[in-house]
């Protein structure tokens, strides 16, 4: 099956710094990638949708200047959390949708971000 990787799997950073999370589709080309955030014991919340070569579309309430998304190629999207604060601590998950099929999305393993 299709594989999506994320790097890093976990990261601890200090308040005020920026953190970049990478999402890669390893064996297929992803025209669209999605970024989700999940707080403990809650469901996944979509943050933004990114299409290769174009600007990301952010969900209501998600600050586009704080969560920078770049989808530079058909296999890589990055999420940068700028000026991170403790309330940004969360589980960040990306998913990728391939060129074909009925629209299945394949999810990465997630990145645990802790801001101290």
Under the rule (CB under 8 A), what is the footprint of another protein? Answer: 1, 4, 6, 32, 34, 36, 43-46, 49, 91, 93, 95, 97, 102-110, 112
Q: Which is nearer to another protein, 84 or 106 (CB)?
A: 106
Q: For the chain, state the CA radius of gyration.
A: 13
d(CA 61, CA 98): 27
Q: Which is nearer to another protein, 22 or 82 (CB)?
A: 22
Q: Which is nearer to another protein, 38 or 80 (CB)?
A: 38
Least CB distance to another protein at residue 1 (A) = 8
Least CB distance to another protein at residue 63 (A) = 19
Going from the C-alpha of 81 to that of each of 6, 26, 71, 106, the distances in angstroms are 15, 23, 15, 22
Least CB distance to another protein at residue 83 (A) = 26
d(CA 33, CA 100): 14
In terms of Cα–Cα distance, which of 28, 20, 41 is closest to 95? 28
Least CB distance to another protein at residue 107 (A) = 4
Bin 73: left if φ > 0, else alpha if -120 < ψ < 50, else beta: beta
Q: Which is nearer to another protein, 66 or 112 (CB)?
A: 112
């Amino acid at each position: 099956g299709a594989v999506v990787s994320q790097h890093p799997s976990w990261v601890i950073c200090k308040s005020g710094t920026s953190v970049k999370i990478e999402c890669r589709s390893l064996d297929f080309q992803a025209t669209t990638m999605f970024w989700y955030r999940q707080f403990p014991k809650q469901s996944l919340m979509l943050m933004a949708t990114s299409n290769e070569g174009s600007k990301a579309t952010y969900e209501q309430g998600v600050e586009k200047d704080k969560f920078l998304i770049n989808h530079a190629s058909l296999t890589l999207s990055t999420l940068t959390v700028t000026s991170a604060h403790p309330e940004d601590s969360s589980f960040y998950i990306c998913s990728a949708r391939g060129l074909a099929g009925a629209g299945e999305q394949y999810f990465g393993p997630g990145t645990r971000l802790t801001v101290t």
